[in-house]
Amino acid sequence: MNSKKRIVIVGATSAIAEHCARLWIQKQPTDLTLVGRDARRIERVTADLRVRSPEVEIRIVQAEFLDPTGIQTAIDSIFALGEVDIVLIAHGSLSEQVESQDNLNACRDTLEINGVSPVLYAEAFAKNMAKVNHGTIALIGSVAGDRGRKSNYVYGAAKGLVTRYAQGLQHRFAGTGVKVVLIKPGPTDTPMTAHLKRKGMKLASVEGVARQIVDGVEAGSAVVYAPGKFRFIMLIISHLPSIIFNKMDV
């Protein structure tokens, strides 16, 4: 075991995850494992992180997002090298809602990549972390999971699944050395939300969101809204009576 913090990022090419990685490696000596599908895109992220911190140790693990056996093997192999301090499960894909309505394949893909896959990964980490009673599992959910709305309810349903799952995991690990942090970003300025920006929506900066995630993980908060104001916004939206909510164009 070395003294470096061991961090694993699943979906390392997502903009939010990448900015978290940049912050983590600047903060402390880090042993980083990046898990993703596309080796070439991970390589780009790796080169960038190595320039930012020559001391960082980076390993790349290629894995599919929906293959349970492959996921279990990949994660077990990561733990074979030692304990993991933090895992950030960050992959996802925000497709157009209308696509999910028109095409059931798109609907299924959205549910699987944003809902099922993060749970499979988290469960593989939970199993290994439980054995050593150590580690933090950070899951990226979304404010979209707090209340279904017409503009993105399929994506929101998948993220809602992650929310319920994280709650259960927090219950399971309460009082142990394993922490579970659920992160709910609001609309953030990333490639995934470029189409929202085209519609003129005001988006949070990815740097700021990453900063809040890194701080929230460090503090071991149960739920991190990023930006923080969404905690209040979503509190109100979740409690609006349907008679009002259904008249809103959101």
Partner 1 sequence: MRPVSSWGRLSAHPHQVINLNDPSKVSDLVCNSHHPGVAHGMGRSYGDVCLNPEGTLWLTTGLDHFIAFDDNSGRLVCEAGVLLRDIQRLVIPRGWILPVTPGIQMVTVGGAIANDVHGKNHHVLGSFGDHVQNFTLIRTDGEVIHCKPDEPPGWFAATVGGLGLTGVIVQAEIQLRRVVGPWLDTETVPYDNLDEFFQLADDSEADWEHTVSWIDCISAGGGRGLFMRGKPADVGQRPEPKGRSLSALFVPPVSLVNQLSLHLFNIAYYNLKKWRAGRAIAHYEPFFYPLDNLPEWNRMYGPKGFFQYQSVVPREVGQDAVQAMLKEVARSGEAPFLTVLKTFGNRQPVGMLSFPRPGVTLALDFPNHGERIHKLFERLDAVVSEAEGRIYLAKDARSPRKLFEESYPRLPEFLKYRDPGISSGLSRRLMGS
Binding site for partner 1 (CB under 8 A): 15, 40-41, 44-45, 47-48, 51-52, 54, 191, 194, 197-200
Please say which residue, 54 or 175, places its beta carbon nearer to partner 1: 54
By the 8 A CB rule, do 55 and 82 touch? no
Cβ at position 95, least distance to partner 1 in Å = 16
Please say which residue, 47 or 66, places its beta carbon nearer to partner 1: 47
SS (H, E, C) 190-217: CHHHHHHHHCCCCCECHHHHHHHHHHHH
Q: What's the rounded Cα separation, in Å, for the pair 225 and 212? A: 8
Please say which residue, 41 or 150, places its beta carbon nearer to partner 1: 41
Cβ at position 24, least distance to partner 1 in Å = 16
Cβ at position 70, least distance to partner 1 in Å = 25
Cβ at position 25, least distance to partner 1 in Å = 12
Please say which residue, 192 or 222, places its beta carbon nearer to partner 1: 192
Backbone phi and psi for residue 180, each to the nearest 5 degrees, phi listed first: -125, 125
Amino acid identity, position 37? R
Amino acid identity, position 60? I
Which residues have CB under 8 Å from 239's CB, separation 6+? Answer: none
